[in-house]
Amino acid sequence: MGGITSSIASKFAFFPPSPPSYSVIGDESCAGRLLIPEVPRRDNVDVLKLRTRRGNEIVAVHLKHPKASATLLYSHGNAADLGQMFELFVELSLRPLSPKRRKRSRNNNFVLSRPSSSATTTVVVANGDPPFRKVTGLAVRFDYSGYGQSTGKPTECNTYADIDAVYKCLKEQYGLKDDQLILYGQSVGSGPTLDLASRLPNLRAVILHSPILSGLRVLYPVKRTYWFDIYKNIDKIGMVNCPVLVIHGTADEVVDCSHGKHLWELSKEKYEPLWLNGGGHCNLELYPEFIKHLKKFVLTVGKSKAATNGSKSTTVDSDRQSKPAESGTSDASQVGSDLPEVSRNSLDSRLEKSKKSNKPEKSRMSTDCSERHRRRRGLVW
């Protein structure tokens, strides 16, 4: 029964572009190195195929930069794949777009001038200034199972395995440490982002962009977590031990702004949130405040981590004089480590205290008309 219900929920959560907007081939002149032929080749970009623990093979893109201070692992929304925003993603991580190389899409987002790109972008640039330029330098984006050239089907469990596979690759292939990693989840991407963040105690930071409390809560304002719900972010946010930035538009008609506010209230290490007045679900990047706040946050957590590491090194040096150093320890916890269960009732009771309401539960969107509603308004998570 649970599998059937989760399968039905997945149909309302995932809308992978069909057909995929890109392909992946091996370059025989470079020992079979993978590339995406639909976009210009770049030496500082690694195209990867990663095997997940659930047996799927997903596509990821790793953008390298010699002076990177952190790595941004980005989990996208539910209606785009890697090819539709590949060039833009690369440009944003390396340098600002020139006026000649950008145009406005139908929803007023800036996209690269590529005839093959027709998707609603989820990463854009405002005023030609990329949000993480000269701040992180490294960025990783991946397609969920069933998206683009990734095999399998898009499900909640598969997205958890997908982000775990990317994290494992960053650790083993690129030597990434947890305190260098910033997890960024947009919309439905907040699900895999918070799932991984809840299991890694030493992350540098987490950014939640128009996040959801849970899948069911997007459709209905329920007061408790049901067993068949998906992406139960409300139950996981309390296990995140790093600074959390939440950004949400006050006029979001897809995921109500209350989702972002409740997640921020439940965060352990709250950072000043950004509630963009009049902002919708897919246009927050056009607000100048969005770019400024992101930069401020990334720089702040970077300085905080540097100060923390400095104090730790002083402590370690003094400890070495009194006892031998321990061996066999790890900088980061392993993916899949056992985690204590968090009481769902206690989390929901905290939400009750923050926002009391005597009104009966009322459906915002019935399941039998949600598809029609989504197509009429172009809803995306």
Give the chain's count of helices (H) and strands (E): 10, 13
Give the whole-angstrom CA distance, residue 332 versus residue 79: 32
CB 182 within 8 A of CB 75: no
Where do the H-state alpha helices sit in 257-359?
257-266, 288-320, 344-354
CB 192 within 8 A of CB 159: yes
User: Which amino acid type is present at position 33?
Assistant: R
234: its two tokens: 């409300």
Q: What angle do CA 351, 353, 358 make, to 5 degrees?
A: 90
Neighbouring residues of 40: CB distance < 8 A, sequence distance ≥ 6: 87
144: its two tokens: 């969920």
Phi/psi for 296 (5° steps) reads: -60, -45
CB 205 within 8 A of CB 227: no
Give the whole-angstrom CA distance, residue 229 versus residue 298: 32
Closest-CA residue to 211 (of 197, 229, 230, 191): 191
104: its two tokens: 């406005």
| Residues with catalytic roles | 187, 252, 281
Ordered DSSP codes for 17-42:
-SS-S---EEEGGGTTEEE-TTS---
Q: 375: part of which helix (H) or strand (E)?
A: helix 370-377
Give the whole-angstrom CA distance, residue 156 versus residue 169: 21
CB 84 within 8 A of CB 16: no
